[in-house]
Structure 1
Amino acid sequence: MGRSVWSACLRERIVQKAAAVLLVLASGQLGFAEAAAPKPLLAYAARIAGDEARTRIVIDFEEKPEFSVHYVAAPERVVVDLPATAFGFKQEDLSARGLFKDIRYGTMDESSARIVLTAKRPVQLTLAEVQESDSGYRLVLDAEMATAEAFEALVRKQSWETDQEGDRDTPIASADDGEFVVAVDAGHGGIDAGATGVETKTPEKEITLSFAKAVADRLNAKPGIRAYLTRDDDTFLTLSERVTLARQAKADLFLSLHADTLSQRDIRGATVYTLSDRASDRMAENLAARENLSDELAGVSLKDEPPEVADILMDLTRRETQAFSITLAQNVLDSFEGQVGLINNAHRYAGFQVLRAPDIPSVLLELGFLSNPEDEKLLLDQGWREKVSGLLVDSVERYKNLAVANGG
């Protein structure tokens, strides 16, 4: 399995045709010969991209394939069953990466074939469908990390006899009706310590986690609002995992908290960032570049971008989400004005990977700079943390009320 090449496909077809001729000679019935040796589908191209949060697999066929998907535990596997199929692409085109540590495929018997995707962690398919293409059809499989409980639920509920495509999606977390969910993301964590205090040497990951917990506690005290922490301990998360966790929690907002350093130690104050492909200034560009290196610093490959659907609807969604993100940023700044120190031009923008959820308004809040001694003292002060977290929650509540009033 996994070693089929074009020459093998030709040999298989020759063998099948020879068998068909023998059956015709023996039976004199062409229909019987065709039933005994069905013509296999040709899978002529394949590609895989993504990371350990989301991975997309695309396989191109000459004709439309019928398929079914099942989940198998110990280890976690996704099994895709196909009709008789000749796999005519190079093995390296479907080499394991992203969420999957092993991928095997091949013929089961004269009428069926199978693809087995062995995962590195619990996984679920959020999309499994056949799409028409200019040269035939493509099977598209979008995989996403899942909790162990969600994967177990997928295994339990399926039926190998009756499972059909499109009947596999089990949400990892779902908000109650009318509940406004805020994903609070404590920057850095685990092996990625982030910046370091200029005087106390306190790592950024500790400051962001403490602040995130304070914000979450205050949010959860508000009626109709639920906070979701992307991490609640000293755990490393890739940038893509943070975004994926927020989407799985059905978040209405995403707040990423940071406390960076700058070479200019005199610069201090809070900053709110929103996403843009073009940075507002050199400082924003440099800061985004450093934050986007978190994965590489922890040894995670950035070779493949997470899969996205590139179409008009996605583009429109991104534009609308960006407008909401800017509104959220302005609400935060309005709350901080006169209460919390802000740098000049406190709303800035750059290409932060962690803000790229296409459907969740997102901001990155730099609480202050650990390179500045005065900011460092405030960042470590519990009273200041309670004050700022309260102001931040007030801005979220105002945003929520505005969104509800506008039918959002």
Structure 2
Amino acid sequence: MRFVVRFAALVFVIFTGLFSVVHAGVLTAYAARIAGDDARTRIVIDFDGKPDVSLRYIANPDRIVVDLPAVSFSFPSQDLEARGLFRDVRFGAIDSAHSRLVLSTAARPAKIVKSEILPNENGKGFRLVLDAEMTDAAGFAALVSPEAWTADARPAKGDFPAAVEGAAPVSAEAFVIAVDAGHGGIDAGASGKVTNTPEKTITLAFARALVERLNRQKGIKAFLTREKDEFLSLSQRVTLARQGRANLFISIHADMLGQVGIRGATVYTISDKASDHLAAAAAERENQSDEVGGVDAGSEPPEVSDILADLTRRETQAFSVAMAKSVVSSFEGQINLINNPHRFAGFRVLQAPDVPSILLEMGFLSNKDDEKLLLDPAWRNKVADLLVKAINKYRAPLAAKGG
């Protein structure tokens, strides 16, 4: 009996040690508070260990970005509800090794006048103290790096990147599809009206189901732009599709509206001019993903003005419209669609000049009936099956022509 007890104790110690090693690289932020007014604002976050912190400033819109190591944020989000100098406060994962706090300024620019990491009085853990103070436009501009920070490497003008490093080779005959689960990491997207489920969770679950089905189809190779809960900038998503030699790009979303009565799926394609107010508003919301994630959107690649590239874009847009019409046709009578279900606007995630692209809003998380469906795996599987049908219909004439 004594041996059994000792053995059990030994197993417990070994397991505890392994658990500690596995989680040693992740800090926990267990408490937070924010206080102040439109002149000065203080943010305090308590950690169970000492974090490494770096600050950056991004303009248009004005933001202060606080980069952190991997952090598990365990305090309620309302504990850092925006006030004082800040109109919006976001925090969350960027990838498995990094997290981020993004502070969007309100009526006037702000700067951090004090950033300290102090040991807690009880001797347990540390606290990050950020003191922000109002400044003027010139003062904020001086804080923004003269060399625009970019979240990723963007393809140069006219460049068609090589295949993703480490990716499995794709046969010349394969029809390659990039499936993009919208949002992720620090950018949670919309949230369910009833369950508060984040959009990023729903889109990833659906994207996985869709890719699994697509890869059962003969001649199709599908891949995810993100395979876990991580943040990708809009440009990264486009670049991954191009690097993967995608023949089609599908971005998955579930929108939020102020009008709770509106429900149903919408298919969007890119256009310089929005088809209507709803499409323009949807594009504006989705394009804010980079702002939420603390990405400098001012470093977009220059416009390509040569005639060949312009012709490529026009052809790509025509294919995108054909795909959108195929989706609407497949969905009709099977799932709810909004009025005029194919719409268009300036979605930055659809900007690849050489990859036909659509953005599918599966439904509205602001509508309780749509939310219930979006959370139902059986319904998501049905939509995925209909989408596969639409893709095969779109692809059939291309395959016949050898495209």
TM range (shorter): 0.5 to 0.7
Aligned partner of residue 303 in structure 1, secondary structure: helix
Please name the residue that 2:195 is paired with: 200
> Residues 126 and 354 of structure 1: is their aligned pair in 2 closer, same or farther, counting only changes over 3 Å?
closer
Please name the residue that 2:306 is paired with: 311
Please name the residue that 2:397 is paired with: 402
CA-CA distance at 1:176 after TM superposition: 1.3
Paired residue type of 2:359:
L
Paired residue type of 1:377:
K
* Contact 2:160-2:243 within 8 A present in 1 as well: no
Aligned partner of residue 315 in structure 2, secondary structure: helix
> Residues 296 and 338 of structure 1: is their aligned pair in 2 closer, same or farther, counting only changes over 3 Å?
same
Unaligned runs of 5+ in 1: 1-93, 100-119, 128-139, 151-171
Q: How many residues align?
A: 259
Q: Find the partner of 1:182 among 157, 161, 177.
A: 177
CA-CA distance at 1:407 after TM superposition: 3.6
Is 1:375 the equivalent of 2:370?
A: yes
- Residue deviations 1:280-322 (CA, integer Å, cap 9, x gap): 0001101100110110111111112124432111110000000
Please name the residue that 2:327 is paired with: 332
Q: CA RMSD in A?
A: 2.4
Aligned partner of residue 228 in structure 1, secondary structure: strand
Question: Residues of 1 paired with 2:242 and 2:170: CA distance?
Answer: 11
Question: Residues of 2 paired with 1:141 and 1:386: CA distance?
Answer: 38
Alignment TM-score, normalising by the size of structure 1: 0.60
CA-CA distance at 1:216 after TM superposition: 0.2
Question: Residues of 2 paired with 1:146 and 1:360: CA distance?
Answer: 14
Paired residue type of 2:397:
L
CA-CA distance at 1:142 after TM superposition: 7.1
CA-CA distance at 1:206 after TM superposition: 0.2
CA-CA distance at 1:97 after TM superposition: 3.6
Please name the residue that 1:132 is paired with: none
- Residue deviations 1:173-219 (CA, integer Å, cap 9, x gap): 75212010000000000000000000000000000000000000000
Question: Residues of 2 paired with 1:178 and 1:319: CA distance?
Answer: 24
> Residues 144 and 227 of structure 1: is their aligned pair in 2 closer, same or farther, counting only changes over 3 Å?
closer
1:121-200 maps to which residues of 2 (within 5 A)? Answer: 175-200=170-195
Please name the residue that 2:352 is paired with: 357
Identity, % of aligned positions: 59
Aligned partner of residue 297 in structure 2, secondary structure: coil
Aligned partner of residue 304 in structure 2, secondary structure: coil
CA-CA distance at 1:348 after TM superposition: 0.3
> Residues 173 and 145 of structure 1: is their aligned pair in 2 closer, same or farther, counting only changes over 3 Å?
same
> Residues 141 and 317 of structure 1: is their aligned pair in 2 closer, same or farther, counting only changes over 3 Å?
closer
Question: Residues of 1 paired with 2:158 and 2:344: CA distance?
Answer: 33
Please name the residue that 1:66 is paired with: none
Paired residue type of 2:294:
G
Please name the residue that 1:227 is paired with: 222
Please name the residue that 2:387 is paired with: 392
Is 1:244 the equivalent of 2:226?
A: no
Aligned partner of residue 368 in structure 1, secondary structure: strand
> Residues 143 and 358 of structure 1: is their aligned pair in 2 closer, same or farther, counting only changes over 3 Å?
closer
Alignment TM-score, normalising by the size of structure 2: 0.61
Q: Find the partner of 2:343 among 345, 348, 356.
A: 348
Please name the residue that 2:270 is paired with: 275
> Residues 321 and 266 of structure 1: is their aligned pair in 2 closer, same or farther, counting only changes over 3 Å?
same
